[in-house]
Amino acid sequence: MKKYIIIGLISILFFQTFSTKSTNLLIPEEAIRLRVLANSNSTEDQYIKMKVSEAVQKDLYTLLKDTKGIESARTKIGQNLPNLRIKVADTLKQQNSNLTFQLDYGLHYFPQKTYKGVTYQEGNYESLLVTLGKGEGDNWWCVLFPPLCIMEAEETEAKEETEYKFFIQELIEKYL
């Protein structure tokens, strides 16, 4: 009986820890987002959207990683819009795509989205918007400043699951 109680308590601890972990990444009030709208939902357009988002995200992370305040981030983004246009154009060219695109920095509408247990409310948010072609496909977005895009990309679910499995296995072995 003692064995089942311990396993039950460990299970509750595990599920409580695991379910609340996903709500830790909240978007600050003063944040700047990056949003890339695909031309359509075709496989090719979605692939191109991801290539563009990866390229732009990489450049912006390098640009903003040591930025201390939102005003400085705004200035850096504004000053680098011509370079970002070149990055998007080069990425489309590398993908042999003839898509047109628009790059706009300002307030843009974001629909409500639930991701990893967190619901992000719809609304107009300060963002850099890259619209590919007609912009009628699914979008991809992240938070540029503070640089949460890269923080999340560096986390791997497999690593987290492995850590929890080892933790629970150690508890079971220790107490049983």
For residue 65, the 8-state DSSP code is T
Per the CB < 8 A criterion, the answer to whether 22 and 120 are in contact is: no
Residue range 5-50, pLDDT digits in tens: 445 445 554 454 444 444 444 677 788 999 999 999 999 999 999 9
Residue range 112-157, pLDDT digits in tens: 887 777 788 888 999 999 999 999 999 988 887 887 765 444 443 3
Query: What residue segments make up the domains of the chain, in order of their start?
Result: 32-153
Residue range 136-146, pLDDT digits in tens: 999 988 887 88
Is pTM beyond 0.85 here? Answer: no
Phi and psi at 37, nearest 5°, equal -100, 125
* Rg of the chain over all Cα atoms, to the nearest angstrom: 21
Per the CB < 8 A criterion, the answer to whether 164 and 17 are in contact is: yes
Residue type, 37: L
Q: CA 93 to CA 55: how far, in whole Å? A: 13
Of 54, 22, 29, 20, the closest CA to residue 146 belongs to: 29
Q: CA 161 to CA 22: how far, in whole Å? A: 13
Phi and psi at 142, nearest 5°, equal -155, 180
